[in-house]
Structures are given as C-alpha cells and as structure tokens.
C-alpha cells in the first residue's frame, strides 16, 4: 500500500513496493498520458514531475515516494481547461507527429523552463534528452523557445 | 518552418478544450461491449457516401482508410476530401472505418495499407472523387428541395446557394436526403491550382490530444473486465518453447494464467501488465534453440562478402557492357560498402487487445494495415474473417514494423482464445520489441567504376549481396529469384524509384543471401542503402576524376531533369561553389524513391579528435503535388532524425542466434543535441504524385558521409558511423 499525491489529489494505491511509479500511474490511477517506452530510464517517454523536477517514472519504484512529494503528470501540467505555455506552443507549431513521446517531452521541457525560464539553444539541446523516433526535435526546439519568449512558464 | 495558418482550426480546438474539459474531437474508439457486439457500420447519422458523413449540426466526418502514425496522412487525406466537398474546414473531424466494414462493403474504402509513402499518392484520386461526389449529391438534394436545376446552385464552405434567388441552406440540413440519391457517375476534379484547403499548411487535426495525454494509443486502451498479458518468444530466431514451469509463478500477485502462445512463445496473464511482466521474468522457460543457435553477424558478413563476387546474380539494371568498358578504361576505382541490420524501434512497443468468443473475435491495435491485421486475426482465431474485426488505433510510430507482418496480433488472439470472453491486452516489453523485430535487411555492395582519360565515367558495376525483404515477408512475390524492390532507386527510367544518371555501360545485380534474422520493410526500405552505395561511390568517382562532385553528377544527369532539379535546388540554396563557414565541409546526395525526387546537402565539421557535428542540411523534395507543405517539412525533418540516427548509431548484431541490443541504452537514437538545422525546399512540378514520408531518409547518410570525406579525406564505407575513426589521418 502506498499513498501518493498525484496532480493535487492524495491517492491510496495497493501495489507491491517495487512497482515502478509509471505502472502505478497507468494501471492503478488510470493516468495513461505517461508512456512506457523503455523501462530503463533511457527514452524519457515516462517523464513526470516530482516536486517540480523531471523524473523518469519507469525506473523508480513507488516505494521511493511519499505523500509529501507532489507528483505531476501530463494530465496535470496545466489546470483543467487551460494550456501550459508549452502546450500552446506545441499546438501553434504542430510539434507532435505520432505523439507518443510528447507527454514526456513536454514534461521534460516544462521542468527545464521552471528551472531556467530563458534557456539558450545549447541548454535546451543539452537538457532535453528524450527520444523521439518520428523526428520532431527541431519543432520541439522551436516550441520551447516560443514558450520561453512568451513569459515565465510554471511547472504544473 | 512554415507558419501559415489561415485555415487553422486551433481556435476551435482550444475552445472545445476550455468549454468541455474533455476532447470530443478525434476518433471514435468503440470501447464498450455493446459497441463491440454491434460490430457493423456506424448507426446514425446516415452517410452521404462512404467517405463523408454530415451531421445535422453541419459537423463533417471524413472517413480515413489509411493509418495515422505521425506522418500526417489523416490531415492530408481529409484536406483532399474537404477540398472537393467544399465544406467548412473548421467543422471537419475524422474516423477510421474498420477493415471488417471494408470487407462487408466490397472494399469501398480501397486499400488500408499504410506503407511505402503511399497514403496520399495512391488514394488521392478516389478520395477526391468521394468528396466531389458527396458535394454533387448535397447540391442535388438542395436543388430538388427547392425544385430548381442543380446547375443553378453552388456550394462553398458547407453552404449551398441558389444563385438566381440567393436562397441558401447548409450541408447539415440536406445531408440525409443527399444520402438517398444515386451517386453521380461522372465526377470531375478540380485543377490543383484552384485548391483552397488542399495544398495549404493547415494545422493537423490530431495535435491537441497529443499535447495533454488524452490521445489513446493501443497501449492505453481499457476494456471492461480486461486482463493484461506479457509475452516472451524464443529469442533465437526459429527456436521454440520446449517447456515452462507455470507452477513457479502461479502464486505471484495478480497472476491469472500462464499460457503457451503458438509453439515459440509463452504469456503470463495477470490483472495488471506490470504484474504479468514480473511473473514472466520469473517464469522458468526451456527453449528448443533450433537450427540458428550459432548464427552470428560475423558469419553473415562473411557470407555476404562471398556474394560480392559470386557468379550467380539477378540483374536489376543493365546498359551496354560494363565489365568490358571498365577493363578498357584509363582508371579503375573499386569500393565495398556495408549496411547493417537495424530495428524500427517505434516509441510505442508492439501491443494489441483481443476479445475472443466462440463466434466472434475483435482486436484493437495500432496497425499500418487494418486489413492485414484482420487476416491475421481471422487466421489465429479459427473464425471466418466475416466474424472478426479490427479496430485501428493511432500508432505510436510504425516505420514499417506494423505493416507487413502482424505477428503480435497473432499472439494476442492466440492468448485471448484460451480465455474466451475476457478481453486481453498484450504489451511487449521494449526488450521483446528489440529481440523480435523485423529488421532492416543486411547488405554489402561492391562497386567498380571506369573513368576515361578525361575523367568521364564510362562504365559502372554494382553488385549488391544480401538480404531480400520480399523473400522474408512475401516469398510468393519472388519470381525467378528476383526481388522486385531490392533495386529501389537504381531502376531504369519509368518507375517510382529510378537511377538519376545515364551511364553508358552499367550493370547492377543482386546476389541474394538470406540470413536467419527476419527482415522487414523499414522506413525508406532498400532506398536507404542503395542511395548510400551509389551516392558515396559517385563522390569517390568524382574525386578520382579530379572533378567537383556537383559538376561530375550534372554531367551524368542531363537525361534526368527532375533528379537534376532537386540537386540544383540544394546546391543553389547552400551556396555550393562558395566557401562554407570556417571549419565546415559539404556533401551532396540525390535519389528518387516512393515517387518523389529528393536531394540533400549537408554541412559538417569534424574536430581534431574525430568528433562529428552536423550543422545544417538543405533538403529538396519534388513530390509533384504538395497537399500540406508544413507537414511535408515535418516529414523531411523527421526523415533526417530517422536517417541520421541509423547512419550514426544504429546496428543490430546477432550472436548465438539472438539479437544483442535489447534497449535504447545499447541501440541509441539520434538525440536533440545532435540534430542539425534543416531547411526544406518543396518543389511541386506537377503531373505526378510522390510520397514524402520516406525518400529523404535515403539522402541523409550519403550527404553526411560525403561531407565527412570533404572534411577529413576519409571514406567511411561501413555503417553505422560510430565505428569509424574520423580523426584526420
């Protein structure tokens, strides 16, 4: 049994301690926006925020988290009915292709902007290490720049 | 990047988001058991024709037969229908008909196959006619209601106007009557020059859902009462399951069943996938490793090397007498290139959900070919296809893996069949996805060229040795030992993948060598390695002739104006012939594939310690007609990610009969840090329709490899480039 704070709600989940946070989010809580890509923290499709910091949830057991830690998923990146500046930029630039990596991409980008509101291109290139196989990188880059120009972005 | 958005429906989507807090746009995915039971065509409202449904509120539902996997075909095909329909683009939504419905309606939606960059180019004619016919029926229905000749009425933006009186009505009001009319026989189409929706950089129809986690992929599907399955097939190609000890894991949390899957795999079914996977990892399985247990990439390479000089080969393209011309040439140049196995590595691993009962089998899966998935479902279910159906779900990447072979669909049905009435969602682990791939074929190529005293190319032989995708997937299509797609980009003129050079004496042939690693159609297919072989060797010949690589090519291309036009476009844009920025060097490549002409010029630098940086690529595509330029640009950019990832990093090796790379840590992709700036030039010379999802991949590697030579004087002839020592000699 674990108690988690996810997108502002406190949730009890009955799982084995070694269950990765990713699968708790997807299978116990029903938040399927966070994706399974590799299971070894190599691709970033599973990225969520824990106290505002990007964390790859596929390789972190649920037992590593306490109720005091605020976990935010793509579904909670912006308050209901609103869009995070990155989500706006993503729509304006038609960033996603297949879209499967984009939840993680957006969460990684949001954590970057929360920490570094005006990143340089080199910083973006160094910090965004999520894999996109369709090849949206240049629009991801443009989307982060556009969101950064639009004012300070806040992490959900 | 194109930012044109005059026809954007972003405003609409944002409004829908804000108002409803949920996403009503997008695909209808029948999730309930009652929907499953219905199975047949959608209930109400009635369709105008197979392609167009118009609801009373004027919402336009356009049916899309091809699969959306990121390439934008959903939006592009909808644009083509909407263009002829003369509907309000802001009111357009889309849905997939099922392959079962297509079967029941005598394939009214044509081919579902989504590969070979064919989505738009092979369906553009009939989908446009579908839109035009629907428009004609809507206008006729209004004219009949008004008791006026249809010729006095016009349609625009979903509104029909009777011109003499100014009366108007909307599509939504006449759609039901229109659907009862006999479809017109003669359906003229617009000149593309008159397009208002097609040809424009409209926003994709499927973006918002992909930015907030609400897009449902196959992996995300949930059905009432569903259980989850993790599966493991014998990691050695051709091996089988000898035994497994179900009792060892039966008591683990959540485990429901441990079942065989065919003769080569085992699945654990549990309440959650994670628990199924954990039990599967703990399950003792004894494999019968079969005949390929000693297969290795080294042995394959040696076998292919032997094929480079083997006496027997199938000729793909021949002119004059190449061997004699080379023998008599002033200068002889020879090189051997090699291209490895590679995995598609879709971001979303293979997965499917199945519900089997004694009289019906339904599957939900991301697939590039719903009809092939239906055939696999029927075969595995033991039921006729008429009692089966497949519900297509947006793909988290396809790249060819989800098209020709539906091995994962077979598996899920075989599992579900052992648990009648219970929906089973099967998800492969990434490791399973890597080990059980259908891999980019492995080949080597020996090229020999002869130059005369003036440095003109008088003869060229090109021997490809290696794997045939067709032999491994559709062996019935091999005729007289010939694989019809192995010569992609090297064929004589007149097809969709022709060589762009006129060489007086030419011999291109193939010595087929099929190792145990199963091949698959991998985005770009055989054009990938063929363009590397030819375009890098042409560069070698130019260098040997002491000529500029652009000038050397141009001299061979006078009979190939469309190939030449894209090459000239990139050369002009990058400033070929003028100095590159300090420390940077340029390389060119061009080819023809999937109906389109493509070229690229790469600008790279190589540091003293051999580190490659790809700074800028200019790419040109002549695809005849451009349906959505900003999405073509996205495909061009994506092609460089896919092509450069393959060129720089990706290689599947086999040892002891099994793949050695099991995840992204040992099978790296291109990363944002490595991504060059890409400038796209889209040429629409008209008169043909070319694909855009794949051809540019083929010029990514050779343009960079030729630039590396310019930078270092080193010819890299074996992929991936990570093995090459690029330090200056």
Judging contacts by C-beta atoms under 8 Å, the chain B residues touching residue A140 are 672
Distance in Å, alpha carbon of A83 to nearest chain B alpha carbon: 8
Q: State yes or no: pLDDT of B27 exceeds 80.
A: no
In this predicted structure, what is the pLDDT of residue A38?
A: 98
Judging contacts by C-beta atoms under 8 Å, the chain A residues touching residue B71 are 97
pLDDT of B630-668, one tens digit each?
A: 999 999 999 999 999 999 999 999 999 999 999 999 999
How many percent of chain B have pLDDT more than 70?
A: 94
For residue A6, the surrounding DSSP H or E stretch is: strand A2-6
pLDDT of B502-520, one tens digit each?
A: 999 999 999 999 999 999 9
Q: Give B284-319 as a DSSP string.
A: -EEEE-GGGTT--HHHHHHHHHHHTT-S--EEEEEE
- Mutant choice from B26, B213, B396 vs A, greatest count of A C-beta within 10 A: B213
| Domain at A2-76: CATH code | 3.10.20.30
pLDDT of B175-223, one tens digit each?
A: 999 999 999 999 999 999 999 999 999 999 999 999 999 999 999 999 9
> What are residue B34's phi and psi, to 5 degrees?
-65, -40
Burial of B253 (0-12, 13-18, 19+ CB in 10 A): middle
Q: Helices then strands (H, E): number in chain A?
A: 5, 5
Closest residue, chain B, to A90 (C-alpha): B211
| pLDDT-derived band at A123, boundaries 50, 70, 90 | very high
- B 516-575: CB under 8 A from A: none
| pLDDT-derived band at B524, boundaries 50, 70, 90 | very high
To the nearest 10 degrees (0 to 180), the angle between helices A137-149 and A85-93 is 130
Residue range B455-469: average pLDDT?
Answer: 98
Q: Where are the alpha helices (DSSP H) in B417-557?
A: 430-435, 469-473, 527-544, 549-556
CB-nearest partner of B672 from A94, A97, A140 = A140
| pLDDT-derived band at A150, boundaries 50, 70, 90 | confident
CB-nearest partner of B638 from A81, A97, A99 = A97
Strands B612-622 and B677-683: parallel
Residue range B10-28: average pLDDT?
Answer: 29
* Domain B218-291+350-427 -> CATH class: alpha beta
Q: State yes or no: pLDDT of B15 exceeds 60.
A: no
pLDDT of B236-266, one tens digit each?
A: 999 999 999 999 999 999 999 999 999 999 9
- Mutant choice from A38, A71, A74, A121 vs B, greatest count of B C-beta within 10 A: A38
pLDDT of B397-427, one tens digit each?
A: 999 999 999 999 999 999 999 999 999 999 9
Q: Is A52 on the interface with B (CB under 8 A)?
A: no
Residue range B219-229: average pLDDT?
Answer: 98
Q: State yes or no: pLDDT of B50 exceeds 80.
A: yes
Q: For residues B494 and B667, is the Cβ–Cβ distance under 8 A?
A: no
Distance in Å, alpha carbon of B326 to nearest chain A alpha carbon: 42
Cβ neighbors of B336 (< 8 A, separation 6 or more) are B305, B308, B444, B445, B446, B447, B717
Q: Please judge whether A91 and B207 are an interchain contact, meaning their C-beta atoms are less than 8 angstroms apart.
A: yes
In this predicted structure, what is the pLDDT of residue B368?
A: 98
In this predicted structure, what is the pLDDT of residue B339?
A: 98
Residue range B594-605: average pLDDT?
Answer: 98
Q: Is B13 on the interface with A (CB under 8 A)?
A: yes
Distance in Å, alpha carbon of B442 to nearest chain A alpha carbon: 21
Across B574-588, b (16+ Cβ under 10 Å) vs e yields bebeeebeeebbbbb
Mean pLDDT for chain A overall: 95
In this predicted structure, what is the pLDDT of residue B689?
A: 98
Q: State yes or no: pLDDT of B23 exceeds 60.
A: no
Q: Please judge whether A102 and B396 are an interchain contact, meaning their C-beta atoms are less than 8 angstroms apart.
A: no
Mean pLDDT for chain B overall: 94
Q: State yes or no: pLDDT of B729 exceeds 80.
A: no
- Mutant choice from A22, A45, A99, A109 vs B, greatest count of B C-beta within 10 A: A99
Q: Is A31 on the interface with B (CB under 8 A)?
A: yes
For residue B245, the surrounding DSSP H or E stretch is: none
Closest residue, chain B, to A127 (C-alpha): B673
CB-nearest partner of A101 from B17, B347, B634 = B347
Residue range A5-19: average pLDDT?
Answer: 97
Residue range B458-484: average pLDDT?
Answer: 96
pLDDT of B366-376, one tens digit each?
A: 999 999 999 99
Q: Please judge whether A135 and B216 are an interchain contact, meaning their C-beta atoms are less than 8 angstroms apart.
A: no
d(CA B366, CA B409): 10
In this predicted structure, what is the pLDDT of residue A1?
A: 77
| Per-domain boundaries in chain A | 2-76, 85-149
Q: Is B637 on the interface with A (CB under 8 A)?
A: yes
Q: Is A63 on the interface with B (CB under 8 A)?
A: no
pLDDT of B140-157, one tens digit each?
A: 999 999 999 999 999 999
Q: State yes or no: pLDDT of B33 exceeds 60.
A: no
| Domain at A85-149: CATH code | 1.10.150.120
Q: Please judge whether B70 and A34 are an interchain contact, meaning their C-beta atoms are less than 8 angstroms apart.
A: no
CB-nearest partner of A135 from B207, B639, B663 = B639
Residue range B674-680: average pLDDT?
Answer: 98
| Per-domain boundaries in chain B | 10-210, 218-291+350-427, 297-342+439-723
Q: State yes or no: pLDDT of B127 exceeds 70.
A: yes
- Mutant choice from B274, B617, B671 vs A, greatest count of A C-beta within 10 A: B274
| pLDDT-derived band at B46, boundaries 50, 70, 90 | confident
Q: Please judge whether B397 and A35 are an interchain contact, meaning their C-beta atoms are less than 8 angstroms apart.
A: no
d(CA B184, CA B187): 7
Q: Which residues pair with B241 in a beta bridge?
A: B287
Residue range B490-510: average pLDDT?
Answer: 97
* Domain B10-210 -> CATH class: alpha beta
In this predicted structure, what is the pLDDT of residue B17?
A: 30
pLDDT of B288-312, one tens digit each?
A: 999 999 999 999 999 999 999 999 9
| Domain at B297-342+439-723: CATH code | 3.30.365.10
Closest residue, chain A, to B347 (C-alpha): A37
Asked if domains B10-210 and B297-342+439-723 share a fold, the reply is yes
In this predicted structure, what is the pLDDT of residue B574?
A: 98
- B 208-247: CB under 8 A from A: 208-217, 219-220, 222, 228
In this predicted structure, what is the pLDDT of residue B587?
A: 98
ipTM of the complex: 0.96
In this predicted structure, what is the pLDDT of residue B518?
A: 97
Number of A to B CB contacts under 8 A, please give it: 203
Residue range B468-483: average pLDDT?
Answer: 95
Q: State yes or no: pLDDT of B575 exceeds 60.
A: yes
Distance in Å, alpha carbon of A49 to nearest chain B alpha carbon: 14
d(CA B52, CA B60): 7
> What are residue B66's phi and psi, to 5 degrees?
-85, 165
- B 159-218: CB under 8 A from A: 203-204, 206-217
CB-nearest partner of B70 from A31, A80, A134 = A134
């Amino acid at each position: 049994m674990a108690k988690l704070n996810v997108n502002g709600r406190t949730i009890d989940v009955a799982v084995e301690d070694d269950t990765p946070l990713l699968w708790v989010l997807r299978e116990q809580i029903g938040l399927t926006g966070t994706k399974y890509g590799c299971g070894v923290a190599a691709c970033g499709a599973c990225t969520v925020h824990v106290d505002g910091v990007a964390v790859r949830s596929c390789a972190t057991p649920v037992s590593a988290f306490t109720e005091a830690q605020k976990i935010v998923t793509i579904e909670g990146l912006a308050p209901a009915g609103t869009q995070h500046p990155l989500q706006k930029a993503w729509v304006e630039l038609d960033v996603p292709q297949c879209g499967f990596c984009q939840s993680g991409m957006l969460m990684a980008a949001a954590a970057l902007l929360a920490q570094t509101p005006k990143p340089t291109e080199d910083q973006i290139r160094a910090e965004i290490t999520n894999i996109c196989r369709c090849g949206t990188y240049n629009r991801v880059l443009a989307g982060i720049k556009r969101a950064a120009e639009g004012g300070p972005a806040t992490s959900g | 990047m194109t930012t044109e958005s005059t026809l954007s429906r972003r405003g609409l989507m944002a409004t829908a988001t804000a108002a409803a807090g949920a996403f009503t746009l997008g695909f209808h995915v029948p999730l309930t058991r009652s929907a499953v039971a219905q199975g047949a065509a959608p209930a109400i409202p009635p369709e105008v024709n197979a392609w167009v449904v118009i609801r009373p509120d004027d919402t336009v539902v356009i049916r899309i037969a091809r699969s959306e996997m990121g390439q934008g075909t959903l939006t592009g095909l909808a644009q083509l229908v909407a263009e002829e329909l003369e509907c309000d683009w802001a009111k357009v939504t889309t849905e997939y008909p099922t392959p079962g419905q297509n079967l029941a309606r005598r394939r009214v939606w044509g081919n579902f196959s989504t590969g070979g960059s064919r989505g738009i180019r092979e369906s553009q004619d009939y989908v446009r006619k579908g839109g035009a016919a629907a428009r004609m029926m809507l206008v006729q229905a209004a004219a009949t209601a008004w008791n006026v000749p249809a010729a006095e009425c016009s349609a625009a933006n979903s509104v029909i106007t009777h011109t003499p009186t100014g009366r108007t009505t909307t599509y939504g009001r006449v759609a039901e009557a229109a659907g009862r009319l006999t479809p017109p026989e003669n359906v003229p189409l617009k000149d593309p020059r008159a397009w208002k929706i097609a040809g424009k950089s409209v926003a994709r129809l499927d973006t918002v859902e992909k930015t907030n986690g609400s897009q449902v992929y196959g992996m995300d599907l949930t059905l009432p009462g569903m259980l989850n399955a993790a599966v493991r097939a014998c990691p050695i190609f051709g091996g089988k399951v000898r035994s497994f000890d179900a009792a060892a894991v039966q008591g683990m949390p959540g485990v429901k069943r441990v079942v065989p899957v065919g003769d080569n795999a085992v699945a654990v079914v549990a309440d959650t996938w994670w628990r199924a996977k954990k039990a599967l990892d703990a399950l003792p399985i004894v494999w019968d490793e079969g005949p390929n247990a000693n297969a290795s990439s080294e042995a394959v390479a040696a076998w292919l090397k032997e094929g480079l000089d083997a006496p027997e080969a199938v000729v793909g393209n021949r002119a004059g007498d190449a061997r004699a011309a080379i023998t008599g040439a002033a200068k002889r140049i020879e090189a051997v290139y090699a291209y490895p196995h590679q995995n598609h590595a879709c971001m979303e691993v293979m997965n499917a959900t199945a519900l089997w009962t004694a009289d019906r089998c339904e599957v939900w899966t991301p697939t590039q070919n719903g009809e092939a998935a239906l055939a696999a479902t029927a075969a595995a279910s033991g039921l006729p296809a008429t009692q089966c159906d497949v519900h297509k779900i947006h793909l988290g990447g396809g790249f060819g893996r989800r098209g020709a072979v539906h091995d994962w669909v077979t598996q899920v049905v075989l599992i579900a069949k052992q648990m009648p009435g219970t929906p089973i969602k099967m998800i492969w682990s990434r490791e399973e996805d890597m080990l059980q791939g259908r891999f980019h074929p492995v080949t080597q190529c020996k090229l020999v060229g002869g130059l005369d005293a003036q440095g003109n190319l008088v003869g060229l032989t090109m021997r490809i040795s290696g794997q045939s995708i067709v032999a491994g997937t559709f062996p019935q299509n091999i005729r007289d030992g010939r694989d019809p797609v192995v010569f992609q980009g090297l064929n004589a003129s007149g097809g969709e993948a022709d060589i762009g050079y006129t060489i007086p004496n030419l011999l291109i042939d193939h010595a087929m060598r099929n190792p145990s690693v199963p091949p698959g159609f991998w985005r770009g297919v055989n054009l990938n390695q063929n363009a590397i072989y030819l375009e890098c060797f042409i560069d070698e010949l130019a260098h040997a002739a002491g000529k500029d690589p652009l000038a050397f090519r141009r001299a061979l291309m006078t009979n190939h104006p469309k190939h030449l036009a894209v090459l000239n476009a990139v050369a002009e844009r990058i400033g070929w012939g003028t100095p590159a920025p300090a420390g940077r060097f340029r390389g060119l490549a061009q080819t023809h594939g999937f109906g389109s002409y493509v070229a690229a010029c790469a600008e790279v630098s190589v540091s003293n310690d051999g580190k490659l940086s790809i700074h800028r690529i200019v790419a040109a595509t002549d695809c005849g007609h451009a349906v959505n330029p900003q999405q073509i640009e996205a495909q061009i950019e994506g092609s460089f990610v896919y092509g450069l990832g393959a060129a720089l990093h990706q290689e599947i090796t086999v040892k002891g009969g099994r793949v050695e790379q099991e995840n992204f840590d040992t099978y790296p992709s291109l990363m944002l840090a490595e991504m060059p700036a890409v400038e796209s030039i889209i040429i629409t010379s008209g008169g043909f329709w070319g694909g855009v999802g794949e051809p540019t991949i083929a010029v990514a590697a050779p343009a960079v490899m030729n630039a590396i030579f310019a930078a270092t004087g080193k010819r890299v002839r074996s992929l991936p480039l990570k093995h090459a020592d690029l330090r200056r000699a």
